[in-house]
Amino acid sequence: MTIHNLSEQNSILHQFFAEIRDVQIHSDRMRFRRNIERIGEIMAYEISKTLQYKPANITTPLGIARIPLISDSVVLATIMRAGLPFHQGFLSYFDHADNAFVSASRRYNADHSSFDIVVEYLSSPSIEGKTLLIVDPMLATCGSLELSYKALLQRGTPKTIHVACVIASQQGIETAQAVFPKDKTTIWAGAIDPDLNDKAYIVPGLGDAGDLSFGEKI
């Protein structure tokens, strides 16, 4: 299994990360969503370099241009709700992809000392023999990612899998390595942070990506 940590190379990506982590900017939801979207666009571009291509003849006003186009059948799967801005970044580049949506969320007990992961919704085309991109902004414990992946397998077995996250914890990466098939999975992280706190949030992380994008929930 290959793991790409995009923060290991200097790029404009660092500017977007500085802003999504900065508590002074968190009150601007539109800016937060747009930065998450832009990180998705950059990551989609990086992933596109690893896909399969087939040359096609394109007719121009003056002749024929031979251009390699993606030949993989791509399914772009997102874990709601936090994943929606990240998904839009990917969709801006993989605009011909089919799309899948899974609702997986933490359900806390009364005193918020522990939680279960619950999958309540799945909308997906067949993923049989296709290239599956699962995009989830925060890979903390890997619990929601694991359950979402297992739910998607009800729709077939993909040829290859790309897991993309904005920020991952080291623990989440290690769990994902155990959950996903090693021979056909690639993990892409914008950054990998070292720790989880006692509430299983990534540290230093950025907080709750869903709340920062759309407002606090009850």
How high is the pLDDT of residue 106? 62
80-127 residue pLDDT tens:
889 999 999 999 999 999 999 998 766 656 665 555 667 778 999 999
How high is the pLDDT of residue 211? 94
More confident residue, 99 or 217: 99
Q: Are 126 and 155 in contact (CB under 8 A)?
A: yes
Backbone angles phi, psi at 216, to 5 degrees: -70, 150
How high is the pLDDT of residue 56? 98
7-40 residue pLDDT tens:
999 999 999 999 999 999 999 999 999 999 999 9
Domains and CATH numbers, the chain: 2-50+72-210 (3.40.50.2020)
Mean of pLDDT over the chain: 93
The pLDDT of 125-134, averaged and rounded, is: 98
Per-residue b/e over 58-83, b at no fewer than 16 CB within 10 Å? eeeeeeeeeeeeeebbbbbbbbbbbb
How high is the pLDDT of residue 149? 94
The pLDDT of 134-157, averaged and rounded, is: 94
**Cα dist. 140→53, 107, 172, 196 in Å?**
33, 15, 5, 7
Percent of the chain past pLDDT 70, that is, above it, reads 94
pLDDT at 170 over 70: yes
27 Cβ contact list (under 8 Å, min separation 6): none
65-84 residue pLDDT tens:
999 999 999 999 999 889 99
